[in-house]
Amino acid sequence: MTPRKHGLARGLTNYGDPDFAIYLRKSFAKSMGYSSEMLDRPIVGIAYTPSGFNNCHRNFPEMLEAVKRGVLAAGALPLEFPTISLGEVFLSPTSLKFRNLMAMDTEEMIRAQPMDAVVLMGGCDKTVPAQLMGAVSADLPAIQLVAGPMMTGRHGPERLGACTDCRRFWAQFRAGTVSAEEIERIEGKLATTTGTCAVMGTATTMACIAETLGMMLPGTAAIPAVHADRLRAAEATGIAAARLIEAPIRPSQIVTRASVGNALRVLLAIGGSTNAIIHLTAIAGRAGIEVPLDWLNELSDTTPVLVDLKPTGSYYAEDFFAAGAMGAVLRELSPLLDHDCLTVTGETLGDRLARDPGWHDPAIIRPAASPVSDKGGLVALFGSLAPRGAILKRSAADASLFETTARAVVFSSLEDLAARIDDPDLDVSPGDILVLQNAGPKSASGMPEAGYLPIPKKLAAQGVKDMIRISDARMSGTAFGTIVLHVAPEAAEGGPLALVRTGDLIEMSVARNRLELLVSEEDLAARRREWEAARPAAAARRGYDRLYAEEVLQADQGCDFATFRATGMTDR
Ligand code: FES
Ligand code: MG
């Protein structure tokens, strides 16, 4: 008996007697009730991530059953395995900190266990990038399946979708126009089904990116979580995964510079989440592809925003699905895309577009000729305040603030922000720029979604709705405002952001992609000496927290761990 190279025999360590090793493995597998016939099949592993702490993946048991049905029908054996799951709102200090942990778990479990292909079941914000990062590094044939978005709820005549509307009603509650009783009723109506956030937040953005890269079956990114098509997509994913065993296509053939360029175009055209630029950079980095922020700018100036979804537009994810979803977006962007990119089905993007049905609802997905705006949703700014770049979601920002020189009001940490932002004596006026320091990847908070600084209470009471806010933090994909994020290098690394003081002038120019700190070289040099002298000794961090602080790269490199990027890439 010579062990085969697939199925249970993969990666067997035999210590000199291969027949004994396969006999042992089979006898243990048989204790789970499988027949010899089943155990001789090739194996599709299923990275399975339900969790009591992840509401977005509540539909996974039913989806798993459908994936397994597809795998079995196509002649392989489906075996699910757990990896950690990341439920966005339940993780402290921030979910981003655990994306790399989930990527490690996914990569190593794909590599360590005997499987010939893998289905990646994810959905909630950080899970899809984590799984794609791990799968690209493991480079076994892999296919992504997502939970799908939630349906909207109703509050009287109003539609509610997590979680852009969460913020709107909370602002009204803070302003006293919504009562405590009403906000409690709304709380029960914001997230009424399983699935991921109901707008173009990070989850929907990452699903669209996975489909554009070619790592997901065409047409499956935006199917609502509760729709029967979601289960049919799961079944089809199982079949496709089994077929990938006979004709292997590896992530390294799919995630290429060309497909990453297509994904950047789509990110811009859908008005996608700012978080997605970090995630796409990290996924590409696993394949050895740099995503410099000036590449984003180059594409941003020539990519129209086509999709009119909240938080920047009017509609919800279920409307995006009904309107034609990614098929329509790709068709409208077609002249800007590389059609030769290979996908998990074995088709190229061009093959897919050639059999496109050609219908969509132009109210929700605009034709390229009459876009929501003629420039992309995201733009990178560079300058003396952000030498390695910062991100502005211009599609979610107030254009009247795009060319501004104004006074900085600085908060040195999240604690300082919490202590002073609502202080009636805070020295701040509506035209100022709010600056938050020490909320980047290496800070103790691990780059939380704190970049959406609240408008100081006394200004909110005067009716101020938006101000320029600058930080090294992130922002929720479901938020909006004139918010400059991901400043690199971050303050905790000694980036110029650490040297800003209240009263300094900052110049922002979106037209020129600039973000300048208007302080003389001499003053900055003196402040830097003071900063170095006052720099606290590295706090006693241990375990994963320490590993994270030591290994995490800056936002412009995707916040991956240096050692997990493809070898040969430079780490600045
Ligand atoms: Fe899971 Fe928003 S909380 S996608
Ligand atoms: Mg989110």
Mean pLDDT of 114-121: 98
Express as a percent the part of the chain with pLDDT over 90. 88
If you take atom 1 of ligand 1, which residue's CA is the nearest one?
A: 124
For residue 235, pLDDT over 50 is answered with: yes
Contact 276, 387 (CB under 8 A): no
One-letter amino acid at 561 equals F
**Based on the structure, what is the number of domains in the chain?**
4
Least confident of 199-213, 491-505, 537-551: 537-551
Q: Are residues 91 and 45 in the same domain?
A: yes
Report the alpha-carbon distance of residue 87 to residue 199 in Å, rounded.
Answer: 17
- Among 379, 348, 392, 366, CA closest to 482: 392
Do 206 and 170 reside in the same domain of the chain?
no
**Does residue 551 lie within any of the structural domains?**
no
pLDDT of the residue at 51: 98
Ligand 1 site, residue 56, Cβ cutoff 6 A: yes
Split at pLDDT 50, 70, 90, the class of 2 is very low
Q: Is the pLDDT of residue 174 over 70?
A: yes
Q: Give yes or no: residues 461 and 473 share one domain.
A: yes
Confidence of residue 568 (pLDDT cuts 50, 70, 90): confident
**CA-nearest residue, atom 3 of ligand 1:** 88
Residues 243 and 315 in one domain: yes
| 225 within ligand 1 shell (Cβ under 6 A) | no
**Cα angle value 543/546/550 (rounded, 5°):** 140
Report the separation in Å between the CA atom of 204 and the middle of ligand 2, taken as the mean of its atom positions. 9
Query: 252 with 398, same domain?
Result: no
Please report whether residue 555 resides in a domain.
no
Residue 124 near ligand 1, beta carbon < 6 Å: yes
Most confident region among 172-186, 221-235, 524-538 by mean pLDDT:
221-235
- Answer whether residue 77 shows pLDDT above 70: yes
Please report, for the domain that includes residue 390, its CATH number.
Answer: 3.50.30.80
CA of 40 to the centre of ligand 2 (A): 42
Q: Are residues 7 and 126 in the same domain?
A: no
Q: Which domain holds residue 218?
A: 41-151+193-355
Tell me, yes or no, whether 228 and 288 share the same domain: yes
Q: Which tens digits make up the pLDDT trace of 125-162? A: 999 999 999 999 999 999 999 999 999 999 999 999 98
Average pLDDT (244-264) is 97
448 close to 559: Cβ distance less than 8 angstroms: no
CA dist 267 and 386 (Å) reads: 22
Between 9 and 237, name the one with better pLDDT. 237
Ligand 1 centre from 234 Cα, in Å? 20
The answer on 164 and 146 residing in a single domain is no
Q: In what order do the strands lie in the sheet with 117-122?
A: 77-82, 43-48, 117-122, 142-146
Percent of the chain exceeding pLDDT 70 equals: 98
Task: Mark whether 174 and 198 lie in a shared domain.
Answer: no
What is the predicted pLDDT for the residue at 341?
98
Mean pLDDT, to the nearest integer, of 56-82? Answer: 98
| CA 474 to ligand 1 centroid distance, Å | 15
Determine, yes or no, domain membership for 258. yes
| pLDDT score, position 17 | 87
505 and 420, same structural domain? Answer: yes
pLDDT at 388 over 80: yes
Mean pLDDT of the chain, nearest integer: 95
CA distances from 140 to 242, 244, 248, 253, 398 (A): 12, 10, 8, 11, 45
- Any domain includes 224: yes
449 lines ligand 1 (CB under 6 A): no
Question: At a CB cut-off of 8 Å and minimum separation 6, what does 5 contact?
Answer: none
The pLDDT value given to residue 3: 41
- Closest of 451, 470, 449, 554 to residue 93, by C-alpha: 449
Residue type, 325: A
Q: Are 173 and 209 members of one domain? A: no
Structure letter (DSSP) for residue 178: S
Res 359: pLDDT: 87
pLDDT of residue 502: 98
Residue 171's pLDDT band (cuts 50, 70, 90): confident
Contact 474, 278 (CB under 8 A): yes
ipTM: 0.95
Given a cut of 80, whether residue 537 has pLDDT beyond it is: no
Question: Are 177 and 49 in the same domain?
Answer: no
Closest-approaching ligand to the CA atom of 204: 1
Whether ligand 1 lies within 6 angstroms of the CB of 198 is answered as no
Q: Which atom of ligand 1 is nearest to the CA of 89?
A: 3
The predicted model gives 74-81 an average pLDDT of 98
- What is the predicted pLDDT for the residue at 4? 58
Residue 1 has pLDDT above 70, yes or no: no
Mean pLDDT for 456-467 is 91
Pocket test for ligand 1, best of 57, 167, 196 (most atoms within 8 A of CB): 196
Residue 559 lies in a domain: no
| Cβ of 201 less than 6 Å from ligand 1 | yes
pLDDT computed for residue 254 by the predictor = 98
